[in-house]
Amino acid sequence: KSSGRGTYRRFDVAMHAQLQAHQKMKIALRGALERNEFELFYQPLISLKSRRVTGCEALLRWRNPERGMIAPSEFVPIAEETALIVTIGEWILAEACREASLWPEHVSIAVNLSPVQFKHRNLVKAVADALSSSGLNPARLQLEITESVLLDESEHNVQVLHDLRSLGVKIAMDDFGTGYSSLGYLRTFPFDKIKVDQAFVRDLPHGKESLAIVRAVAGLGRSLGMTTTIEGIETEDQLAIANAEGFHEVQGYIFSRPVPAGEISRLIEDGSL
């Protein structure tokens, strides 16, 4: 009996510690933007036709004074709870467009949008402002959304997607095949690009099921007139599959990890797969 109670107590203590860490991070996040602790890393997307960089994805990092570099999977969900992601998201858009305006005209910039940003009226204006203050050609900006954007509030969100598209930017469906995947989503909005999630790449070349899914999505994307991208390519064997299945572009460690802004220009100029 007493050991049972002890187990509960240990559980409570662990839960409490977790909750405290969560609260602590939430508070630290609040001032992080003013303290300039956020940074964008950039990961190249490579055209399989030219084997050169055609675009880069902006990936958020948090340089925490106590903990060092923190990955977005650890803090973006917390920033989404408080709508802090809206202010951070505006900074990301402005910063990514400003950086991309320094790159050659043929290189695009991809920015991830949180579903929470769609709930706020400001999203279209934030994108328009980022474009006008950077002078970036809107056709060079790609906004990456996940299926969850089409899950709730889908009517409002689809309208926002159309409004964004009217600015001249491109819309990409990110992490396709995970989450609440439904092929119907591809009918609700004419996406410019589809990115196959790295979950289907991880066990390639051996995973038969993954290969079948990757092949199907490549075909689907092509028939719908979308640019097809495959993420998380790490090995030559995986690259060979991306080529064989006719993907337009690849993204992954095989070419480069995400790098700080200072290192991306060299990859854009000299990098070749």
Please answer whether residues 110 and 58 qualify as being in contact, where contact means their C-beta atoms are separated by less than 8 angstroms: yes
76 lines the binding site for ligand C2E (CB under 6 A): yes
99 lines the binding site for Mg ion (CB under 5 A): no
Q: How is residue 110 written in tokens?
A: 């991809």
* Binding partner of 73, given Mg ion, ligand C2E, none, CB within 5-8 angstroms per partner class: ligand C2E
238 lines the binding site for Mg ion (CB under 5 A): no
To ligand C2E, the closest distance from the beta carbon of 114 in angstroms equals: 4
Of 21-29, 206-214, 218-226, 227-235: span binding ligand C2E (CB under 6 A): 227-235
14 vs 71, beta carbon nearer ligand C2E: 71
H-type alpha helices, the chain: 2-32, 72-81, 84-100, 123-134, 154-166, 185-188, 208-223, 236-244, 261-270
To ligand C2E, the closest distance from the beta carbon of 95 in angstroms equals: 9
Q: How is residue 169 written in tokens?
A: 């930017």
Q: How is residue 129 written in tokens?
A: 């402002």
Q: How is residue 205 written in tokens?
A: 């070349």
The CA distances from residue 125 to 97, 103, 128, in Å, are: 14, 24, 5
* Binding partner of 160, given ligand C2E, Mg ion, none, CB within 5-8 angstroms per partner class: none
245 lines the binding site for Mg ion (CB under 5 A): no
Please answer whether residues 55 and 264 qualify as being in contact, where contact means their C-beta atoms are separated by less than 8 angstroms: no
CA–CA separation, 214 vs 201, rounded Å? 8
Question: What is the pattern of x (binds ligand C2E, CB under 6 A) and - over residues 109-148?
Answer: ---xxx-----------------------------x----
Residues that bind Mg ion (CB under 5 A): 112, 144, 174-175
Residues that bind ligand C2E (CB under 6 A): 43, 58-60, 71-73, 76, 92, 112-114, 144, 174-175, 198, 231-234, 251-253, 258
